[in-house]
Amino acid sequence: MRIVVCIKQVPDSAEVRINPETNTLIRDGVPTIINPYDLHALEAGLQIRETAGGKVTVLTMGPPQAETALREAIAMGADEAVLLTDRAFAGSDTWATAYTLAKAVEHIGADVILCGKQAIDGDTAQVGPEMAEFLDMPHISYIRKIVDVAADKLIVQRLMDDGYDVVESSLPLLLTVVKELNVPRLPSLKGKMAAKKAEIRKMSAADLKADEKNLGLNGSPTQVKNIFAPEAKTDRTMLEGTPDEKVDTLLKELVRLKCI
């Protein structure tokens, strides 16, 4: 089984803030991590390899620094890693990112592609399903359990708002996974040694034979107009006085609003 796991290196989002004066992101000193959902995708890939045999390739697109994330994935047990890095990929939205990753998968070859349900920096959950469309393969999102793996088909549980669906699909297939699926393993000592020595395969736009008009900012239908911190409500009332007076005023308002 050829298994490809897509990962993304992201800033630890709990620590990202906006500078109110310049309206820009403050990411100074914010550590980068493998997107947490992708660790569950990787774990699922490793488990499929353990039962069905085959090879796990981790794939990412990003600046050269993203190599660190790939080495971490090898330490966890991935067999090989591919880094898509090129100036031409800069400014990609989800469409251009999915196109680029799909091009890489055409070179690598895949029976099962696994992605985290979304990345914690963008939260869009779009790249996985978009890749499946570019590769003309089915996909199933929000997988919480892999019920059965056969040579030509997979049965999974898909998490929904009101419960779950049991869904069956032919291969090749792309899955996006949620945290409930598994507990990601920690890197082993052997894995860490392998990660140090591993050769990371780097691919550029030219290596992918990608259509330039589909890459980077140029290939992105969406653009960011601006970023901002949320606005203040204009009609708010701050209640004044001693705590006792504040509560009395509040009580009057609650009665007026017919909440009591």
Partner 1 sequence: MYIKVKSELCTGCEACVASCPYDAIVIKGAKAEITELCQLCRACMSVCPEGAISEYREASDEKETAQGRGVWVFAEQREGRIAGVSLELLGAGRGLAEKLGTEVSAVLFGGTDHDAKELVRWGADKVFHCDDPGFQAFNDEPYAALLSKLITEQKPEIVLTGATPIGRSFFPRVAAKLRAGLTADCTSLEIDPETKNLLQVRPAFGGNIMATIFCPHARPQMATVRPRVMKRGTYDEARIGEIIKVSAKGIASRTKVVETVKEVSELAINLQDANIIVAGGRGMGNEKGFQLLHDLAEVLGASVAASRGAVDEGWIPYRHQIGQTGKTVSPKLYIACGISGAVQHLVGMQSSDVIIAINKNPDAPIFNVATYGIVGDANEIVLMLTKKIKDLKG
Which residue bears the tokens 């971490």? 72
Smallest gap, in angstroms, from Cβ of residue 75 to partner 1?
A: 24
Query: Distance between CA 132 and CA 140 in Å, rounded?
Result: 9
Q: How far is the CB of 167 from partner 1 (least distance, A)?
A: 5
* 24 in contact with partner 1 (CB under 8 A): yes
Contact between 225 and partner 1 (CB under 8 A)? yes
Rounded (5°) CA angle 175-192-78: 25
Q: Whole-number minimum distance, CB 13 to partner 1, in Å?
A: 4
DSSP letter string, 10-73:
EE-GGG-EEETTTTEEE-TTPPEEE-HHHHHHHHHHHHHHHHH--EEEEEEES-GGGHHHHHHH
Based on CB atoms, which residue is closest to partner 1, 78 or 177?
177
Alpha helices in 55-176, H assignment, sequence order = 67-76, 94-108, 127-134
Q: Is 233 in the site for partner 1 (CB under 8 A)?
A: yes
104 binds partner 1 (CB under 8 A): no
The nearest distance, CB 65 to partner 1, in angstroms, is 7
Letters for 63-102 (x = contact with partner 1 by CB under 8 A, - = none) are xxx---------------------x--xx-xxx--xx---
Residues 57, 46 contacting (CB under 8 angstroms)? no
Least distance from C-beta 106 to partner 1, angstroms? 15
3-class state of residue 82 by DSSP: strand
* Rounded Cα–Cα distance for residues 8 and 12 (Å): 12
Residue from 216, 187, 203, 177 nearest 67 by CA? 203
| Per CB under 8 A, 206 contacts partner 1 | no
Q: Which of residues 45-64 bind partner 1 (CB under 8 A)?
A: 63-64
Nearer to partner 1, 62 or 77 (CB): 62
Give the nearer residue to partner 1 in terms of CB position, either 53 or 221: 221
Binding residues for partner 1 restricted to 167-186, rule: CB under 8 A: 167-170, 176
Dig out the tokens for 39 from the structure: 């660790």
Per CB under 8 A, which of residues 111..170 are in contact with partner 1? 120-134, 137-142, 155, 158-170
The answer to the question of residue 222 lying near partner 1 (CB under 8 A) is yes
What is the nearest approach in angstroms of partner 1 to the Cβ of residue 74? 23
Per CB under 8 A, does 223 bind partner 1? yes
d(CA 220, CA 99): 10
Rounded CA separation 213/216 (Å): 8
